[in-house]
């Protein structure tokens, strides 16, 4: 449904051509943002880790609202292998984008953070007040700390300069158009691809990392996009806000569910020499409901079926390395 808020505002969506960004862009159009008023920078044109490129981006886009989704991140393995790169890239992008927003009088800045910012042993459910009560899980810490520093920057710039910067904490996302590259994907697309390929090869078993005991919460990407656009339109406060659905599932149970949906009938072997990651993740989502009326609408079972169906349709293209983000 169109809303007057978006009709006359120029919006810049960093990462707008990516997994989450493509859905945010679609949701903005559905909310009434004219295509001509939406600017989606491409990495080949703007390196957001460089101050000069960010300044040029703002000069070209002339945004009134900035939704910062761009990030460098992967699953546990990618995070473990790229701690320095992920720390620098994510901190630098946010640093330059927020500073340039201040300099140019941007009306509103939406910083999308990460669930990896929470302490390793956060009590369940994760409440926003717990963000500073410990150090993040080690394999995710450089990425999580870099993103959490941007929360401090948003709050500091609000206090000193009056920049209306908000900070959102989405839980693990999944859905169509996700990254299915086994070197850098997150858990759900990785499981879908592994079980799909094992079924096709007639493999007797699939080996997975850890012991299957950790829990995770997952948010369907279309719901995440709805939450981000709702917050951009209706939330103007300094406090961070979780985006999730409040449901927790063990990785072992998740693996069993994905295998069943894909049709893989072999066994599962757990490689306990590999890291588990954070022991548990499940969010308190009451703040998003109270502050801007967001509640996830897609059940996990429904979202998983849609994701697997999309992968099945695009499997050949994914194996060939073709861009399937917008198909």
Q: What is the DSSP string of 205-242?
A: EEEEES-S--EE-EEEHHHHHHHHHHHHHH---SS-EE
Mean pLDDT of the chain: 95
CATH number of this structure's domain 4-178+217-247+280-298: 3.40.50.720
Q: Domain residues of the chain, as ranges?
A: 4-178+217-247+280-298
pLDDT at 2 over 70: no
Residues 39, 47: Cα–Cα separation, whole Å: 15
pLDDT band at 76 (very low <50, low <70, confident <90, very high): confident
Is the model's pLDDT at 327 over the cut of 50? no
pLDDT band with cut points at 50, 70 and 90 for residue 79:
confident
Is residue 311 among the annotated active site residues?
no
pLDDT per residue over 188-244, tens digit each? 999 999 999 999 999 999 999 999 999 999 999 999 999 999 999 999 999 999 999
- Of the candidates 86, 118, 143, 167, the residue annotated as catalytic is 143
Q: Give the pLDDT band (50/70/90) at residue 10.
A: very high
Predicted pLDDT of residue 278: 86
Q: Going by C-beta distance under 8 Å and a sequence separation of 6 or more, which residues neighbour residue 179?
A: 19, 185, 186, 189
The per-residue pLDDT for 320 is: 77
């Amino acid at each position: 449904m169109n809303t007057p808020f978006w009709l006359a505002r120029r919006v810049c969506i960093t990462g707008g051509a990516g997994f989450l960004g493509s859905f945010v862009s679609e949701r903005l159009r559905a909310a009434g943002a004219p295509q001509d008023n939406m600017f989606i920078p491409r990495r080949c044109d703007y390196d957001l880790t460089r101050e000069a490129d960010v300044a040029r981006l703002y000069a070209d886009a002339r945004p009134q609202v900035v939704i910062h989704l761009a990030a460098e991140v992967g699953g546990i393995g990618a995070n473990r292998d790229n701690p320095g790169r992920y720390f620098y890239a994510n901190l630098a992008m946010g640093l330059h984008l927020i500073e340039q927003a201040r300099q140019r009088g941007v009306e509103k800045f939406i910083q999308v953070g990460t669930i990896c910012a929470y302490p390793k042993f956060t009590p369940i459910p994760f409440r926003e007040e717990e963000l500073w009560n410990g150090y993040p899980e080690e394999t995710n810490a450089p990425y999580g700390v870099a993103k959490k520093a941007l929360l401090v920057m948003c709050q500091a710039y609000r206090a000193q300069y009056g920049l209306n910067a908000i900070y959102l904490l989405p839980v693990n996302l999944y859905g169509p158009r996700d990254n299915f590259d086994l070197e850098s994907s997150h858990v759900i697309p990785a499981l879908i691809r592994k079980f799909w390929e094992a079924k096709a090869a007639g493999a007797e078993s699939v080996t997975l990392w850890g012991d299957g005991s950790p829990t995770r919460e997952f948010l369907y990407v279309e719901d995440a996009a709805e939450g981000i656009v709702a917050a951009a339109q209706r939330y103007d406060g300094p406090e961070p806000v979780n985006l999730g659905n409040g449901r927790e599932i063990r990785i072992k149970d998740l693996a069993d569910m994905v295998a069943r949906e894909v049709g893989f009938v072999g066994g599962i072997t757990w490689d306990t020499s590999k890291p588990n990651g954070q022991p548990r993740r499940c969010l308190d989502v009451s703040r998003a409901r109270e502050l801007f009326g967001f509640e996830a609408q897609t059940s996990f079972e429904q979202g998983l079926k849609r994701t697997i169906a999309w992968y099945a349709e695009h499997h050949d293209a994914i194996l060939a390395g073709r861009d399937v983000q917008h198909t």
